[in-house]
A = this chain, B = another copy of it.
Amino acid sequence: MNPDLVLTVNGRRYRAPRQPLVVVCVDGCEPEYVNQAIAAGRTPFLASMRERGLCLTADCVVPSFTNPNNLSIVTGVPPAVHGICGNYFWDPDAGAEVMMDDPRYLRAGTLLAAFADAGAKVAVVTAKDKLRLLLGHRLSGICFSSETADRVTRAANGVEGILARVGLPLPSVYSAALSEFTFAAGVELLAHERPDILYLSTTDYVQHKAAPGITAANDFYGMMDGYLQRLDALGAAIVVTADHGMNAKTDAFGRPNVLYLQDALDAAFGRGTTRVILPITDPYVVHHGALGSFATVYTADPAASPAVASHVATLPGVLSVLTREEAARRFELPPDRIGDLVVVAERLSVIGTSASRHDLSGLTVPLRSHGGVSEQQVPLIANRVPPAPLPAGRRWRNFDAFDLALNHLQ
């Protein structure tokens, strides 16, 4: 592609990559995971970035969930613009609770598609298949998920034979291996297809189970470190960020601090008067029981919203209750895709709907989750030192990853 190209995507300008650019979204990468892995001596490559690279602390999108943040990273804009504000929402047109994983809900084009249209070779590997259609929307390039790596075809995914090429077994969707496959596939693609832009998105299976510094977590970051080192050795500019952080959501005895908000509202206002939606909900709930720190509430009678809000504010575990307008403004969310109220839980608490609708039998270890402002801070790491000082006082966002890489580090 033309190295002097400047593209404008969703109102932001980006220079073309002058060497292969790898942007990695490490699902659930609370900054402390990296810190503890470095302290344990498990990540020599990341440790070397203290001298050779850059580390900022950035704010992700709230709700601090996977899909809104991955879409923000690849569009460079908040959900108010791209439209994806959860995994799951109440679709008033359909009159139903539906997954928001279909590109028809996407309101902005991606940087990936725009660069591909401008002549760049673009490749995307996502751990879970739930993101593939959104990340690959209108993308002329390579796009597949590790979860379905055995079904990758040139026609559908722009590449073939990936399982054999990567040389790892097809991973379970609930495993650290799902992320490892994503990194290994990224190295394979960078070495042979040599994309101009490679986007890798992992899964937070490990982070939901292991706290920073715990063996399984250090093992994960040690694994990641090895692949980052190989991407670096292949000459790539690398930016590593995260979709969200991760916190314990339990009491000191490891029991989940859950506010069953639908139960509480049914008890206070009667059944059918409110509908609690948990945007964390997706088909993969075993490791978190669909429990996160963010919920929206629809009220059958909008005039009742203030009374509902006042009541919710008194419930244990609630950090803040915002009206649709307040939440849309503060968190840059599409007002038509959130409820009349947005409820954010405290750092150690999560919100459920009704106790009877959550299967916690898969929680074999104390719950760790995300969704709130307590999981908003994520790393923004690069294997480059900026040639000129970065703007002072700027609030960096995880969806500045491409801006940082293309406009400030080359």
Check A393 against B213 for contact (C-beta < 8 Å).
no
Question: Is A35 close to B, CB under 8 A?
Answer: yes
List of B residues within 8 angstroms of A34 by Cβ: 252-253
Q: Of all chain B residues, which has the CB nearest A40?
A: B214
Residue in B248, B314, B379 whose beta carbon sits within 8 Å of that of A252 in the complex: B379
Contacts of A32 in B (CB 8 A): 211, 248, 250, 252
What distance in Å separates the Cβ of A391 from its nearest Cβ neighbour in chain B? 12
Q: Assess the B393–A55 pair: CB atoms within 8 A.
A: no
A165 sits at the interface (CB 8 A):
no
Residues of B within 8 A of A346 (CB): 377
A264 to chain B, nearest CB (A): 10
Would you call A31 and B250 a contact (CB within 8 A)? yes
Known pairs A252-B34, A252-B57; A374 contacts B347 (CB<8 A) = yes
Q: Judge whether B381 and A252 touch: CB under 8 Å.
A: yes
Q: Which of A231-285 contact B (CB under 8 A)?
A: 248, 250-255, 257
Most buried by B among A35, A253, A393: A253
Closest Cβ–Cβ distance, residue A245 to chain B (whole Å): 9
Cβ-based interface call for A212 (8 A)? yes
A55 and B251: CB pair below 8 A? yes
A377 in contact with B31 (CB, 8 Å): no
* Interface positions of A from 37 to 70, Cβ below 8 Å from B: 38-39, 46, 49-50, 55-57
Residue A330, interface by CB 8 Å: no
Question: How many copies, total?
Answer: 2
Closest to A29 in B: B252
State whether A39 touches B366 (Cβ < 8 A): yes
Whether B36 contacts A211 by the Cβ 8 Å rule is yes
Q: Once bound together, how far apart are the Cα atoms of A31 and B381, in whole Å? A: 30
Contact A393 B254 (CB under 8 A): no
Residue of B nearest to A348 (CB): B377
Name the one of B50, B253, B348 contacting A50, with C-beta atoms under 8 angstroms. Answer: B253
B residues in contact with A377, CB < 8 Å: 346-348
Q: Does A348 contact B253, Cβ atoms closer than 8 Å?
A: no
Within 8 Å of chain B (Cβ to Cβ): is A316? Answer: yes
A365 at the interface (CB under 8 A from B): yes
Tell me the minimal C-beta distance from A71 to chain B in angstroms.
Answer: 23
Let me know if A357 is at the binding interface, CB within 8 A.
no
**A104 in the interface (beta carbon within 8 A):** no
Q: Which residues of B contact A257 (CB under 8 A)?
A: 57
Cβ contacts under 8 Å, A214 to chain B? 36, 213
- Are B252 and A55 neighbours in the complex by a CB distance under 8 Å? yes
Closest to A57 in B: B251
Within the complex, the shortest CB–CB distance from A225 to chain B, in Å, comes to 12
Partner of A211, one of B212, B252, B255, B379: B212
Q: Which 7 A-B pairs have the closest CB atoms?
A: A252-B379, A34-B252, A31-B252, A55-B253, A35-B254, A32-B248, A57-B251
Q: List 17 A-B contacts (CB under 8 A).
A: A31-B250, A32-B250, A33-B252, A35-B251, A35-B252, A36-B211, A38-B254, A212-B248, A213-B213, A213-B214, A251-B379, A252-B381, A314-B393, A315-B393, A347-B374, A348-B377, A374-B374
**Chain A residues in the interface with B (C-beta under 8 A):** 29, 31-36, 38-39, 46, 49-50, 55-57, 211-214, 248, 250-255, 257, 314-316, 346-348, 365-366, 374, 377, 379, 381, 393, 395
Inter-chain pairs besides A211-B212, A347-B347, 8 sampled, C-beta below 8 Å: A35-B254, A35-B366, A46-B253, A50-B253, A56-B251, A57-B348, A211-B213, A316-B393
